[in-house]
Amino acid sequence: DPYANDPVRHKALKVKRNKPFCAEPSPPLLVESFFTPVPFFYVRNHLPVPEIELKDYTLELAIEGTTKKTLDFKALQKYEKRTVTATMMCGGNRRSEMSKVKHLEGVQWDVGAVGNATWTGVRLCDVLKDLGVNEDAFNHVQFDGHDLDPSGMPYGGSIPISKAMDPKADVILAYEMNGEPLTQDHGFPVRVFVPGVLGARSVKWLSKINVSKEESQSQWQQGDYKGLPPSTTWDNVDFNKSPAIQEMPVMSAICDPQDTDKVEIKNGKIKVKGYAWSGGGRKIFRVDVTNDNGKTWHTADLMEDLQTNEGRHWSWTLWNVELPVDNKSKEVEIWAKAVDSSYNVQPESFNHIYNIRGLLCNAYHKIKVQLKQ
Ligand code: MTE
Ligand code: MO
């Protein structure tokens, strides 16, 4: 069993798949704190977790496949230490809701394939500058992980070089999460962290960085993590026709209460909590919540955003709202939608954004709760 040496995980994580390990925290737990405690931070592995000793760790730096330099952990740490506070979200977060339109393969994520943390390490732009990379001569920066598939191919992904070399894009080669060394599941000893982009490009157990004219040729860049059209089926799919997903769209979710919960009414109102986030460093301007199918909308209170740098709102926004409810009704349906700083809004339903990979699942979040009378 190639998974026999996988680490032990916290009991609070709800296991979605065991081999490879995929798990998420419960939604109410998720919105208890701005920083997601590492033991509750979702895990998305595609392969067995590699065991790497710090003293054996090496990071290869290459240009068009030719190795230019190899750094050990100490050499990497010589670059200036930087910290970024940012949210990571899986491209398949909330897939289980899209699955209700039509059956979907893939991990059936609820709303918890997301977390917010501090990521500490060195800036990718500093390492690339030191390598003498000329940004204009290349298009992409590719990352490989130390985790290998049965044929010996590593997990991999790439980002545009403009992002990789922009100091304001805050791309980090992270060795700490929330101030502690990375855990085995989250990429020990070093992972890339790319703010504002789907989790798939934040390659864990980083083994190699390759600067290239081309995107990563990895399965996860070329044959997955792309936004496919709604009518595409597994019989006619052509992954070459759709670009790889990078920045994520605007998203929100109700986390507390959860669907089917029994909820207490206080002074004619019920309390609702959730998160909102958008990719590309876009700020959350507003979260609108309704409990009468959109006849009346209530503006949620947004938890203060710690980041003030324009265009670098990497962290999620937690929100809460008190909704007035009719004392006579037994059940209420609650919808939430967010608006980001480009005034992008979420689509109303999953019907028209359905795609066979179940990615970019950002329709209004809709739940039904029972009222305790
Ligand atoms: N990196 C490697 N090497 N192997 C992986 O399986 N999964 C990716 C990304 N980086 C993955 C990886 C995906 S799809 C996501 S959503 C994030 O890691 C999840 O990171 P986490 O497990 O630390 O939450
Ligand atoms: Mo993911």
pLDDT digits (tens, 9 = 90+) for 84-113: 999 999 999 999 999 999 999 999 999 999
What is the pLDDT at residue 245? 98
- Amino acid occupying residue 354: Y
pLDDT of residue 305: 63
What 3-state DSSP class applies to 128?
Answer: helix
Q: Which backbone phi and psi does 68 adopt, to 5 degrees?
A: -105, -30
Instruction: Summarize pLDDT for 52-87 with one digit per residue, the tens.
Output: 999 999 999 999 999 999 999 999 999 999 999 999
Neighbours of 337 (CB within 10 A): 24
Contact call for residues 371 and 358 (beta carbons, < 8 A): no
Q: How remote is the CA of residue 220 from the centroid of ligand 2, in Å?
A: 10
Separation between Cα atoms, residue 219 and residue 108, nearest integer Å: 20
Question: 252 CB contacts (<8 Å, ≥6 apart)?
Answer: 274, 275, 276, 277, 284, 287, 319, 336, 337, 338, 346, 365
Residue 307 has pLDDT above 80, yes or no: no
Q: Is 147 in the pocket of ligand 1 (CB under 6 A)?
A: yes
Cα 364 to its chain centre, rounded Å, is 18
> Average pLDDT in the 283-307 region?
92
The answer, yes or no, to whether residue 170 has pLDDT greater than 70, is yes
CB of 155 within 6 A of ligand 1: the answer is yes
pTM reported for the whole predicted model: 0.97
**DSSP track, 185-223:** TTTTT-EEE-TTB-GGGS-SSEEEEEEESS---SHHHHS
Tell me: pLDDT of 41 over 90.
Answer: yes
Residue with CA closest to ligand 1 atom 21: 43
| pLDDT > 70? residue 278 | yes
Bridge partner residues of 197 (DSSP): 247
Percent of the chain with pLDDT over 70: 99
Q: What is the mean pLDDT of the chain?
A: 97
Q: Taking 80 as the threshold, does the pLDDT of residue 306 lie above it? A: no
Residue 373 scores a pLDDT above 90: no
How far, in Å, is the centroid of ligand 2 from the Cα of 114? 9
**Separation of CA 93 and ligand 2 centre (Å):** 8
Q: Cα separation of 98 and 5, whole Å?
A: 33
Beta-carbon neighbour count of residue 69 at 10 Å?
14
Torsion 322-323-325-331 (CA) sign: negative
* Ligand 1 pocket: which of 59, 175, 202, 207 to mutate (most atoms within 8 A of CB): 202
What residue's CA is closest to ligand 1, atom 2?
A: 204
Render pLDDT for 122-162 as a digit per residue (tens, 0 to 9).
999 999 999 999 999 999 999 999 999 999 999 999 999 99
Ligand 1 atom closest to residue 144's alpha carbon, by position in its atom list: 3
Distance CA 207, CA 187 (A): 11
Burial of 60 (0-12, 13-18, 19+ CB in 10 A): middle
CA distances from 264 to 259, 267, 286, 328, 334 (A): 14, 10, 26, 13, 15
* pLDDT tens-digit readout, 183-211: 999 999 999 999 999 999 999 999 999 99
Q: What is the pLDDT of residue 346?
A: 98
Instruction: Please report the pLDDT score of residue 327 as a whole number.
Output: 78
Q: Which of 248, 252, 249, 295 is nearest to 273 (CA)?
A: 252
295 phi, psi to nearest 5 deg:
-70, -40
DSSP-derived 3-state class of residue 56? helix
